Amino acid sequence: MNDKEVGTPLPKKLGIAGDLVFAVVHAPSGFVASLGDTGDAIWQRNLELPLDVIIAFFAQRTRLRTEWPDLTAAAHPDGAIWVAWPKHSGAERGDITEDVLRADLLKTGWVDNKLIAIDETWNALRFAQRKDQRHPRKR
């Protein structure tokens, strides 16, 4: 993890700021509350709008593969999808690793560009569309 991220508020790490619209998928109990103050950012409880930030928690690779098309369809072309997976040292178990995420998701046209620790149980890797696939942000 980046040493600069230690002590940084979680919403800032995740890019939740301003009037961005974000959604959380399959979050562990208490995660949304742990975000605290997200300022003017709008928490959307479903994947209906073009979302600026999506934070999706997965322990199983098959579930991620199944739901990835829905996540990418809901993401704004200039948005980000954080895929969180359990650390192997935590209580939560799964078959996802950083290498698995890259192997499965890079071939879909999305690239990873930031890795963070959400907490002592979860890591997250941010994916964005390739620059040549992005569109100017319009509201």
- Mean pLDDT for each 10-residue chunk of the chain (139 residues)? 68 94 96 93 91 98 98 96 90 88 96 96 95 62
Helix, strand, coil share (%) of the chain residues, nearest 5: 30, 30, 40
pLDDT score at 91: 66
What are the structure tokens assigned to 116, written together?
């963070």
pLDDT score at 3: 44
- Cα radius of gyration (the chain): 14
Delineate the domains of the chain, giving CATH numbers in brackets. Answer: 21-30+39-133 (3.40.50.150)
CB atoms inside a 10 Å sphere around CB 6: 8
